[in-house]
């Protein structure tokens, strides 16, 4: 082999390894910076208080609760819709064109940036449906945003349910809905769970879509208030933006960033474990 | 004989009619699933209609050329100006810059994951990439604001580091995960025979990857780039923290405002025509994104053929 070719090959190897090392170092650096600056500010008080200028407390309890409320509300609405759509696409729809149009719509939805969801959510839910700035309006906006994720993961796992399961159910005299409910959907549970985890990840990380729909308030809401029109509140991510940009309270922002990072990490691990466990269950 | 046949048919039909409630629920569920199926289409239509209704009047009032090609944005002046050319060009520049920096790194990393590393290392790096994809954009913004902006200021000796360059760096990092994961999938899908043929002809492994695998995965890699472009164009919260947010025409060390950040920063206090103009900006952004999606679809479709 010519020497120049050898050098070139070594060089190519080198840049490929460098790129991978760069990514890993970058991520490690980011994690270290966030944790190093965030952890010292996390305390029990911080997690269980609400921010108050009067009492000089800084706390993120309202934001934690709001995040939880929004996750629950969004999932309760988006799961039936998304799973239903996936079932329609892979079990009912016979018209190829209809399937193509729905898939195209889902792809389009997943490409729309969150700031546009924020504006449209404000127009539709906050103003048109007169829910005012509220957690409910925020959750409904996120329903549109997370729908494609649920559809895609459910659909992928419905595709892997063997045709013989369905034939077996039909052979025993089950109707289509009966077969779906008792045989097909339980076998596709892995996709549904994965979809939920991905959707939760997206909800936790979302800010632009929530700023103008769910608002920026930092009050503790009861579940009833959270469900009613006008029950506004900021999630962790939105409040982090607020602390960074408006209050310039960088320490608090880093503390929230650390919590968000840990949540992201946990969700990532959960997604991997869920995929593994459920795949094993399927193999039986 | 005939009687027998009739009764046989009777027996066959009987179980179907036996449970009218089940039959009704079957039909009902078919309809419900159908509605769920088309709800995604309805959402897309509703989003488009609402944005057009709220955004079109302002474009009409300002005049489409004044709006798209006006170089001055001064909505609160006594003689207000609504030119969004600075935003459009800043968005284009920021995206181009992010792609120029981010895509080569992303493709190299994808090549590493798909072709160079063993299973274990590959799994670890993949994990890192998917964690990066999950980190919220405000966190990227915060890190950019605290570390990238001062660094840019120091290195280039500027009075302020919050400029287009910082935005490009942050966006380049943010598009990496999508570029890497889609390119990796494309590289893994390259038929083994192609590479074996190249190796058999005496090419080294690295030569094979760069001259055979990457060209063979061309359309998948292009799709990953287009996806990255979509991400960069639509990113708002991270950019608003590092780009300085002044409505300048783009310059590499100038404070800029993008289409997305223009909407975010002014929505809270705008009113009247100003507010409508912000919806028009969102409409322009949506058109950009739909065009990018269209390109993505064409690439994927061509690939399938």
Nearest residue, CB atoms, A237 vs list B116, B138, B207: B138
pLDDT greater than 80 at residue A111: yes
Q: How near does any CA of chain B get to the CA of A130, in Å? A: 15
- Yes or no: say if B178 and B265 are a contact pair by the CB < 8 Å rule: no
CATH number for the domain running over A44-283: 1.10.3720.10
B18-50 pLDDT per residue, tens? 577 778 888 888 899 989 989 999 999 999 999
The model's pLDDT over B71-85, given as tens digits with 9 standing for 90+, comes to: 888 888 888 888 899
- Verify whether the Cβ–Cβ distance A147 to B40 is below 8 Å: yes
- Rounded-to-integer distance, Cα A203 and Cα A215, Å: 15
Q: Average pLDDT over chain A, rounded to whole?
A: 88
Residues of chain B with pLDDT under 70: 1-18, 304-305
- Rounded Cα gap, residues A68 and A72, in angstroms: 6
CA B232 to CA B225: how far, in whole Å? 10
Q: Is the dihedral of CA B220, B225, B226, B230 positive or negative?
A: positive
Task: Grade residue A284 by pLDDT with cuts at 50, 70 and 90.
Answer: very low
- Helix or strand run (H / E) with residue B111: helix B85-111
Chain A residues inside the 8 Å CB shell of B230: 111, 113
CB contacts of B46 in chain A (<8 Å) are 120, 124
Banded model confidence at residue A45, pLDDT cuts 50, 70, 90:
confident
**pLDDT for the residue numbered B90:** 93
A125 CB-near residues (< 8 Å, 6+ apart): A131, A136, A137, A140, A141, A213
CA B294 to mean position of chain CA atoms: 12
Cα diameter, chain A: 77
Distance from CA of residue B202 to its chain's centroid? 40
Fold of the CATH domain B84-304: MetI-like fold (1.10.3720)
- The stretches of A57-133 forming alpha helices (DSSP H) are 61-87, 96-111, 114-121
> Which of B 218-247 lie inside 8 A of A, CB atoms?
230, 233-237, 240-241
Structure confidence at residue A281 as a pLDDT band (50, 70, 90): low
Q: What is the pLDDT of residues A167-217, one digit of tens each?
A: 888 888 888 888 888 888 888 888 899 899 999 999 999 999 999 898 888
Q: Each residue of A115-140: pLDDT tens digit? A: 999 999 999 998 888 888 899 999 99
Residues in B 178-197 with any Cβ partner in A closer than 8 A: 180
Could you state, in order of their start, the residue ranges of all structural domains in chain B? 2-62, 84-304
Q: Give the lowest-confidence range in A53-57, A59-63, B259-263, B297-301.
A: A53-57
The length of chain A is: 284
Long-range pairs for B286-291: beta carbons < 8 A, 24 or more residues apart: B286/A112, B286/A116, B286/B47, B286/B48, B286/B51, B288/B91, B288/B233, B288/B259, B289/A111, B289/A112, B289/A113, B289/A116, B289/B230, B289/B233, B289/B234, B290/A108
- Residue B51: what pLDDT? 92
Q: Return the closest-CA partner of residue B238 out of A115, A22, A110, A210.
A: A115
H/E stretch holding B34 reads helix B20-62
Nearest to A208 by CA among B247, B242, B131, B263: B263
What is the predicted pLDDT for the residue at A280? 63
The ipTM value here is 0.90
Structure tokens at B293: 């999606």
Q: State the pLDDT at residue B1.
A: 45
Rounded distance between C-alpha atoms, residue A207 and residue A205, angstroms: 7
The region of weakest confidence among A50-54, A103-107, A161-165 is A50-54
């Amino acid at each position: 082999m010519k020497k120049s070719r050898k050098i070139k090959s070594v060089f190519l190897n080198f840049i490929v390894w460098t790129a991978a090392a760069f990514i890993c170092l970058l991520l490690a650096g980011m994690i270290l910076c966030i944790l190093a600056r965030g952890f010292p500010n996390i305390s029990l008080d911080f997690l269980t208080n609400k921010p108050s200028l009067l009492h000089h407390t800084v706390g993120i309890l309202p934001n934690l609760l709001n995040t939880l409320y929004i996750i629950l509300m969004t999932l309760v609405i988006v799961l039936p819709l998304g799973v239903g759509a996936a079932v329609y696409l892979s079990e009912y729809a016979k018209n190829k064109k209809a399937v193509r149009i729905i898939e195209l719509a889902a792809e389009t939805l997943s490409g729309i940036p969150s700031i546009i969801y924020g504006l449209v959510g404000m127009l539709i839910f906050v103003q048109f449906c007169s829910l005012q700035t509220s957690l409910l309006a925020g959750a409904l906006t996120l329903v549109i945003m997370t729908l494609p994720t649920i559809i895609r993961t459910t659909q992928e796992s419905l595709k892997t349910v063997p045709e013989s399961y369905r034939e077996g159910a039909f052979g025993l005299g089950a109707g289509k809905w009966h077969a779906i409910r008792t045989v097909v959907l339980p076998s596709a549970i892995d996709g549904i769970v994965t979809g939920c985890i991905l959707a939760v990840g997206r909800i936790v990380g979302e800010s632009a879509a929530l700023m103008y729909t769910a608002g920026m308030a930092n009050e503790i809401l009861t579940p009833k208030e959270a469900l009613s029109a006008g029950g506004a509140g900021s999630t962790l991510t939105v409040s982090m933006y607020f602390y960074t940009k408006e209050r310039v309270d960088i320490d608090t922002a880093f503390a929230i960033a650390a919590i968000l990072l840990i949540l992201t990490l946990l969700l990532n691990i959960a997604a991997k474990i869920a995929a593994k466990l459920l795949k094993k269950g399927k193999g039986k | 004989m005939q009687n027998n046949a009739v009764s046989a048919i009777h027996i066959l039909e009987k179980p179907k009619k036996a449970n009218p409630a089940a039959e009704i629920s079957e039909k009902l569920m078919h309809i419900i699933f159908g509605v769920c199926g088309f709800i995604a289409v309805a959402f897309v239509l509703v989003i488009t209609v609402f944005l057009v209704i709220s955004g079109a009047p302002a474009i009409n009032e300002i005049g489409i050329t004044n709006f798209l090609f006006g170089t001055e944005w001064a909505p609160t002046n006594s003689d207000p100006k609504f030119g969004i050319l600075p935003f459009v060009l800043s968005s284009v520049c920021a995206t181009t810059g992010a792609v120029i920096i981010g895509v080569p790194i992303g493709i190299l990393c994808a090549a590493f994951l798909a072709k160079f590393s063993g299973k274990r290392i590959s799994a670890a790096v993949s994990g890192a990439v998917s964690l990066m994809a999950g980190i919220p954009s405000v966190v990227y913004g915060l890190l950019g604001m605290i570390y990238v902006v001062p660094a840019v200021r120091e290195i280039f000796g500027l009075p302020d580091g919050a400029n287009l360059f910082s935005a490009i760096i942050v966006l380049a990092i943010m598009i990496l995960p999508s570029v890497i994961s889609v390119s990796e999938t494309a590289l893994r899908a390259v038929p083994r025979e192609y590479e074996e043929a190249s190796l058999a002809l005496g090419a080294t492994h690295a030569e094979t990857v760069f001259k055979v695998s990457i060209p063979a995965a061309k359309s998948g890699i292009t799709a990953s780039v287009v996806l990255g472009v979509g991400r960069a164009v639509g990113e708002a919260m991270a950019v608003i923290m590092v780009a300085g947010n002044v409505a300048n025409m783009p310059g590499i060390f100038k404070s800029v405002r993008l289409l997305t950040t223009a909407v975010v920063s002014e929505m809270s206090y705008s009113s009247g025509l100003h507010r409508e103009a912000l919806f028009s900006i969102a409409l322009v952004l949506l058109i950009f994104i739909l065009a990018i999606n269209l390109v993505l679809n064409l690439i994927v479709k061509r690939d399938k053929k």
